[in-house]
Structure 1
Amino acid sequence: MAFHFNASDKQAYAVRLLRKAFTRGARTHVLLDREMATRLEVDLWIRVAGDFLPHCLDDSPAPVLRRSPIVLGPSVMQVQPEAQVLVNLSEMLPDSGLIGRYQRIIEVVSTSPRDRELARQRWRWYRESGMEPERHDLGASEGSTHH
């Protein structure tokens, strides 16, 4: 469980993070609202020419969901099959009954005061849930995912 703080461009950082997870063979769920999911989906197609990351939205047909290594959307935690990694780009708390199914949870936090305050609340929630978050400050080296 890790918080990646100070992402100057949360979406661009997410693309790099998802590329890294994909190249390592990890199935990844990305928790985010529908509007941001649509924007991120476009970036996964065009961010780097010739470097498409296979993905789908969480409301895609079941056969597509089964084949997609990256699934995006607000109800992603309900999607089967399960993924190894959950990336939270939203303001939402993940479903407490489902967080245990992930081997790794990554919270990406921008530099905006609102996002930082909501992240502090999620940090406390994780600690109260018995998890000990790690802190990774992206401000020093935005290009790295600090694993």
Structure 2
Amino acid sequence: MTQVDFHFNLADKLLYACRLARKVYLAGQPLVVYCDDRAVLTRFDQQLWQFSALDFIPHVMLDDPLAADTPVVLTATEGDTPHHSVLLNLGLETPLFFSRFERLLELVGVEEDERQAGRARFKFYRERGYPMQNFDLTKAA
């Protein structure tokens, strides 16, 4: 069963996502980053190149010919992915294909629409009995 980790109260969701992607990559785990909003996914792609002058996180879009050989794959569709270890959700909706993964990282920003969507996703996973962990970033600050 998929382990679901909620990271919430994120002041800068995309920067935090970059740091999580780096952590997963450095741990040697393949990562799929999903967002149904292509504009957000494009901003995340750009931020991966810029967030750290000392880090390189190899990543491509799912439709790239090198996707199967690249440790971090970005997608705006719920198609078949080459990796099934960790899924990072940048979207507001529950990814329908999340149960293919060993672990799901859910990110929730501080804006009200993000919080409401995060609560709905949290309830969805809890009602179905998925093992969950919560990381409140206001407590970490």
TM-score, normalization: structure 1? 0.86
Which of residues 36, 60, 70 is equivalent to 1:68?
70
Q: Unaligned regions of 5+ residues in structure 2, if any?
A: none
Distance 1:80 1:114 in 2: 28
Q: What's the counterpart of residue 84 of structure 2? A: 83
Query: How far apart in 2 are the matches of 1:74 and 1:130?
Result: 27
Summarize deviations over 1:43-62 as a string: whole Å, max 9, x none. Answer: 1112111412100112323x
Residues 65 and 79 in structure 1, CA contact (< 8 A), matched pair in contact too: no
Alignment correspondent of 1:28: 31
Determine the C-alpha separation between the residues in 2 that align with 1:136 and 1:24. Answer: 19
SS of 2:139's equivalent in the other structure is coil
> Are 1:15 and 2:2 matched, yes or no?
no
Q: Which runs of 4+ in 1 moved over 4 A?
A: none
Q: Which residue in the other structure is 2:117 paired with? A: 118
Q: Deviations over 1:65-118 (max 9, x none)?
A: 11111111221x4233223101111012111xx322211111010011110000
Q: Which stretch shows the higher mean deviation, 78-87 or 107-116?
A: 78-87
Equivalent position amino acid for 1:80 in 2: T
1:93 aligns with 2:94: yes
* Matched length: 137
Q: Structure 1: which 5+ residue stretches go unaligned?
A: 143-147
Letter in 1 for 2:49: W
